[in-house]
Structure 1
């Protein structure tokens, strides 16, 4: 397939079905497990490295911040590389970085390895999203994006709770070592099963960032960052947050599983809803659910009136609301400037991780004050996202 044909596919003339996107989702599952597994045993990391839980949370913050900054740069530097080679190289880097994280003797070296892992993730996830959009028919685009993002959400449903369970039994270093092995195995699968697609002519970084000024982009990307900040204010500190809600031991794994299952359901439902009723309506429902959920968590933390069933239901709603954002947001961006789909998916990924970084930083500041305070701030951020969505002008006619 020539560079020209890839450009045309990215512009919305792909002819494939969703079957071609599943191997890409396997890769995002590996990336998601890597990105979020630390939340399942963050207190153990803190104790092992002799730092506070908030201090250990910097490992999550630095990963997300590096990803946000690196994604457009990596996309520029690697533009000419064949897509399959880039996907495999990114997964190998993730494997090496996670092995380094598992062996890190102190927090500074752990942070260095998390930076390397973020660079690998920044190379993989936007490429996988753009390739999925290029391969499928236009009417399946949002669902294809949902499948690829679904790898991340399945990681929260299976990878993160499983990592937390392994960390509790065998230690967090073993858990990260297994994540490294998962990334290496996935690299082999991606090399064998991903279609051979060429790169494209490099787009200067200035041109990439100039897309931020487009009317259909300038209002969408800040919403991505704001919504993810709201969703992740408490997530990196979910273990101490659940402890404050009366959930300890194996109950934590079950609550993380409930969150993950909700995330999978929310992501897939959002992909279908964005195609059928439109992305704005889908986001409105998602942000409303998130605001109610965060407020309910804050109320439970302050009053102490909670039961495991209620906490599990709220955890599932939290996951659904958090991960229903990405498919409709990517859909809005691609509809606004379809010919620039790979660029816009990369910028949206940067916005996602910028929001995660900001939310985690805010959570690190508020968690020592109290779990209720953290969830109140998350509620306020969600209401701000809902307000932004309501007052934003409608997207312009797609630029093909």
Structure 2
């Protein structure tokens, strides 16, 4: 189902663009709305809060709907949120619209991952999930740089108009290309939430949070790292971010293929590789060539975790795959905030701009230890290395 997966990837591209493009447009938005840059920074937090809250709530609310209907509804809300953001007259209103735009983010990826897994054989599920997340990786290569360029040239509102157009195109693509699905079997919210009584699920989500926090300690401060510690010019940073985005895309593809072959060994390998790569990156920053190579490698190692961890957490609760998969996005955004906060603490403590990279390596190592603990604890139970989820019923009609 390559075209159906492309529809999911297009939606992921739009979601990834709107999540990160605001970071590059903060000075422009702050000036236009007459607020300080730190105040404008709350727009990033508002979106993340929407993701954290919306992921479980909207997934539960849509549990009795066909998955295709849920995907269409979520992308409709996403589109409305971005149109409202483009029209926001001031910062208080924009905080609300960014929150609304973030609400469907986690639920879409949660339901979309299960739909993608249901369209392929069991030995290709991680690859299918990675194809959806490929859109998220491509957003860092094309969507965010182009949105930032357009926003600075034609006004920040134009960037969100383009994102809204992508949302409309995604709705049309999902409507045409995703097969129709049977109505979900009736379930009670209490039964769905019972999955969170399992300690292994919380430990798995903790592994996701710590693992991704290691990436965001670096990603949050990559610009000053490259200019202050690496000696690059400010003009070079945008091209280096494209290089990072290419690394993320490559890592996403590698992670999907590796997880299908051996899920648990791939999880160990990705976290171990990320630990080593970040240590080498920290050492390589003073030399421009090695710094660029290290940045690319960090993108590969970091985003190989995406499909691996998404598949891993779904394997911990196959009967509630949509809910726990959506919860991964909540964990991802908590990791985003946590990584930025912890990385900022090391810089404020006077440890230098490479200190977030060293901290990221430490967090990746902690994530590896947590992964070993959660997989060892369930090895004598059902700790599967291949995904077997309650998949939606598909038919050939569209």
Q: Give the TM-score band, short-chain normalised.
A: 0.7 to 0.9
With structure 2 as the length reference, what TM-score do the two structures score?
0.84
Task: Tell me whether 1:270 sits opposite 2:251 in the alignment.
Answer: no
The residue that corresponds to 2:337 in the other structure is 357
1:338 aligned onto 2:323: no
- The 1:360–1:43 alpha-carbon spacing in structure 2 relative to 1, beyond 3 Å, is farther
CA-CA distance at 1:88 after TM superposition: 2.2
- Which of these residues, 238, 244, 253, is aligned with residue 253 of structure 1? 238
Number of residues of Structure 1 aligned to a counterpart in Structure 2: 379
Helix, strand or coil: the match of 1:131? Answer: helix
Aligned pair in 2 of structure 1 residues 127, 219: CA closer, same or farther (>3 Å)? same
CA distance in 2, matches of 1:197, 1:40: 39
Are residue 372 (structure 1) and residue 354 (structure 2) matched?
yes
Distance change in 2, residues 1:94/1:153 (3 Å): same
Residue in 2 aligned with 1:20?
4
Residue 112 (str. 1) matches residue 96 (str. 2): yes
**CA shift at 1:272, angstroms?**
0.9
| Partner in structure 2 of residue 137 of structure 1 | 121
- Say if 2:51 is the partner of 1:70: no
Which of the numbers 323, 327, 348 marks the counterpart of 2:307?
327
Cα contact 2:68–2:174 (8 A) shared by 1: yes
Contact in 1 for aligned 2:13/2:139 (Cα 8 Å): yes
Could you say what secondary structure the match of 2:64 adopts?
coil
1:196-239 C-alpha deviation (Å, 9 max, x unpaired): 22442454444333212335523211111111222123434544
After TM superposition, the structure 1 stretch with the greater mean CA deviation from structure 2, 77-86 or 239-248, is 239-248
Q: Which shifted more, 158-167 or 137-146? A: 158-167
Provide the rounded CA distance (Å) in 1 between the counterparts of 2:97 and 2:149.
23
Considering only aligned residues, what root-mean-square deviation do their CA atoms show, in Å? 2.8
- In structure 2, the CA distance between the partners of 1:364 and 1:39, relative to structure 1 (3 Å rule), is farther
Report the 3-state secondary structure (helix = DSSP H, G, I; strand = E; otherwise coil) of the residue aligned with 1:219. Answer: helix
Structure 1 counterpart SS, 2:354? helix
d(CA) in 2 for partners of 1:214, 1:204: 18
Structure 1 residues 161 and 312: CA distance shift in structure 2, 3 A: farther
Any gaps of 5 or more consecutive residues in structure 1? 1-16
Q: Distance in 2 between matches of 1:383 and 1:50?
A: 43
1:175 aligns with 2:155: no
288-297 or 89-98, larger mean C-alpha shift: 288-297
- Residues 1:218 and 2:202 aligned together: yes
- From 312, 316, 330, the counterpart of 2:292: 312
Aligned residues of 2:245 and 2:299 also touching (Cα < 8 A):
yes
Q: Which residue does 2:393 correspond to in 1?
A: none
Q: Distance in 1 between matches of 2:98 and 2:346?
A: 23
Distance in 2 (alpha carbons) for counterparts of 1:46 and 1:376: 32
Partner SS, residue 195 of structure 1 = coil
Question: C-alpha separation between the residues in 2 aligned to 1:52 and 1:352?
Answer: 27
Contact 2:25 2:156 in 1 (8 A): yes
Which residue does the alignment assign to 2:43?
59
Deviation at 1:73?
0.9
Q: Which residue of 1 aligns with 2:65?
A: 81
Q: Report if aligned partners of 2:4, 2:174 keep a CA contact under 8 Å in 1.
A: no
SS in 2 for 1:371: coil
* Bigger shift: residues 210-219 or 267-276: 210-219
2:9–2:131 Cα contact (<8 Å) kept = yes
Taking the aligned partners of 2:156 and 2:353, their CA distance within structure 1 comes to 24
Larger mean CA deviation between 123-132 and 370-379 belongs to: 370-379
Quick one: distance in 2 between partners of 1:62 and 1:208? 27
Q: Displacement of 1:318 after TM fit?
A: 2.3
Deviations 1:165-190 (A, max 9, x none): 32343343322222222212222222
Q: Aligned partners of 2:39 and 2:283: how far apart in 1?
A: 27
TM-score, normalising length: structure 1: 0.84
CA distance in 1, matches of 2:88, 2:343: 24
1:155 matched to 2:139? The reply is yes
Of 355, 359, 373, the residue aligned with 1:391 is: 373
In the superposition, relative to structure 1, how do residues 199 and 183 fare at CA in structure 2: closer, same or farther (>3 Å)? Answer: same
